[in-house]
């Protein structure tokens, strides 16, 4: 059974860059699309983007100018980079595996707070 685990800083300052990693175990990272999804407190889920093993990406149009994703198949890790942070980026960030147009496996989620 696949397991996903997000890691990174829990506190980041405004205007800085967030870098998160998702470590995948229990299954191959290949042959799937992997997404990042976030949820600010009290708000709905927001899809950030996705990455394939080839490095191909798709991003949420509202975030595309600030987001980049990559994948390291040798380490079974995904990475998310989000620049020019504001308090509005404070959220729980999830990585998830995509299958048949849905997200069937999720990490536990990581709270990222943007504050000075």
Report the interface residues with other proteins, using CB under 8 A: 35, 37, 44-47, 49-50, 58-62, 94, 99-104, 106-109
What residues contact residue 3 under an 8 Å CB cut-off, 6+ apart? 24, 25, 26, 105
Q: Which is nearer to other proteins, 13 or 43 (CB)?
A: 43
Q: Min. distance of Cβ 95 from other proteins in angstroms?
A: 11
Q: Min. distance of Cβ 47 from other proteins in angstroms?
A: 4
Q: Min. distance of Cβ 109 from other proteins in angstroms?
A: 6
Q: Which is nearer to other proteins, 63 or 73 (CB)?
A: 63
Separation in Å, CA 90 to CA 25, 27, 73, 115: 27, 30, 28, 8
Q: Which is nearer to other proteins, 15 or 56 (CB)?
A: 56
Radius of gyration, CA atoms only, the chain: 13
Q: Cβ(47)–Cβ(58) under 8 Å?
A: no
């Amino acid at each position: 059974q696949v397991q996903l685990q997000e890691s990174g800083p829990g506190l980041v300052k405004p205007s800085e860059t967030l870098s998160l990693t998702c470590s995948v175990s229990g299954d191959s990272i290949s042959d799937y699309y992997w997404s990042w999804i976030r949820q600010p407190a009290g708000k709905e889920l927001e899809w950030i983007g996705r990455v394939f093993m080839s490095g191909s990406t798709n991003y949420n149009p509202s975030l595309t100018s600030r987001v980049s994703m990559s994948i390291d198949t040798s380490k079974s890790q995904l990475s998310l980079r989000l620049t020019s942070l504001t308090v509005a980026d404070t959220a729980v960030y999830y990585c998830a595996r995509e299958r048949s147009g849905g997200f069937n496996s999720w990490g536990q989620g990581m709270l990222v707070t943007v504050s000075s």
